[in-house]
Amino acid sequence: MAEINIFDRTLKLIARDHAEVFMKLAFPGEKINLVGTLENVEISLPEERVDFVHEIEYNGEEYLLHIEFQLQHQKKFPKRVFVYSAELTNQFEKSVISLALYLERRESQIPESYVVCLGNDVINQFSYPVLKIWDYEEEIRSGKLRELAPLLPMIVKEATVETLAEERRLILQEKDDKKRARLLATAVTVASQYFERDFLWRFFREEVEQMHEVPFISDWIKEAEESAAKQGFLQGRQEGRQEGRQEGRQEGRQEGYAQACREDIISLLEDKFGVVKRNILNYLDKVERVGSLRMLLKKVSKVETQEEFLDLIKIAVGE
């Protein structure tokens, strides 16, 4: 599975699954009903198709909603929106509403129309609404647009470990198991453009189990588990599924899991602070309880200094 393909597919799934959110942002105050979704729509252009269009209803009239993502602006994008709108209008004999969603922050002006000019005179013009997702950063962070939390690394000025911790916190507030799993998988996919994948699996270690049933990321999880199994990182979780566990093996699994937690903590500290202080490493070796190590793992993203984290370790070991 090519990395660019899964990333592109993930963005399209966001547009498909959260069309109502984007409609509210693009047309605030309008009562638009989402009726259905048509997928893999063939159009009369060589080797061209539209992944999906939404069927919507407004004031008793039916329309098609075509949503296009742009990671970075492409010069031919306005023309493509115009051509796709014309083809869909002709094919379905319905009015088409085209909506462009821009993801990565951009300072220069974004075109909102396809224009044909003679000299300086505008002869034809096709306009479409543009949503700049970074304009809604505060609404996403506040939880009002929690569905878009996986996009945070793309819209902030610099994606950090704190960004990942914030989006994870927002996603875990979702009560629906399937939606939460898809959001987590989407978060990992999007974040893979800014962080090493091995690091992301360590960061989302406790959420991996929830993502197992999400098809578009299953291959990544399988690769991660195979790699981790070779290093012994996932030994505790994998053996824990087996019946007839023996006491000696249980003890070994606990120690293996504890060591994996320590290594994850050190990795996160290195990403955040650079070189990890020796006294932190020494004290971390004294923490034996898996529960305490898991607590410390969650605290890494919240501390401001290594000294603050050292104080937490000392509390964990009873000093």
Least confident of 202-206, 209-213, 247-251, 291-295: 247-251
State the Cα–Cα distance between residues 50 and 88, nearest whole angstrom. Answer: 9
pLDDT in tens, 217-266: 777 777 766 666 555 555 555 554 554 445 544 555 566 667 778 888 88
- pTM value? 0.66
Under the banding of pLDDT at 50, 70 and 90, the label for residue 4 is very low
Is the confidence at residue 95, as pLDDT, over 70? yes
Delimit the domains of the chain by residue range. 3-128, 142-231, 255-319
State the Cα–Cα distance between residues 200 and 221, nearest whole angstrom. Answer: 11
Q: Are 254 and 236 in contact (CB under 8 A)?
A: yes
Q: For the structural domain made of 3-128, what CATH number should be given? A: 3.40.1350
pLDDT in tens, 29-79: 999 999 998 877 777 665 567 788 999 999 999 999 999 988 888 899 999
Q: What is the dihedral of CA 294, 300, 305, 308, to 10 degrees?
A: -30
Report CA 163 to chain centroid distance, whole Å. Answer: 11
Q: How far is CA 162 from CA 5, 43, 173, 276, in A?
A: 27, 43, 17, 18
pLDDT reported for residue 253: 56
Question: For the range 152-160, what are the long-range contacts, defined as Cβ-Cβ under 8 Å and sequence gap of 24 or more?
Answer: 153/190, 153/191, 153/193, 153/194, 153/195, 154/71, 154/103, 154/104, 154/190, 154/193, 155/103, 155/104, 155/105, 157/105, 159/191, 159/194, 159/195, 160/272
Phi then psi dihedrals of residue 31, to 5 deg: -90, 90
pLDDT reported for residue 317: 83
- Would you tell me how many other CB atoms lie within 10 Å of the CB of residue 172? 15
| pLDDT, greater one: 14 or 64 | 64
Is the confidence at residue 2, as pLDDT, over 80? no
DSSP string, 293-305: HHHHHHHGGG-SS
pLDDT in tens, 275-310: 788 888 888 888 888 788 888 888 888 888 889 999
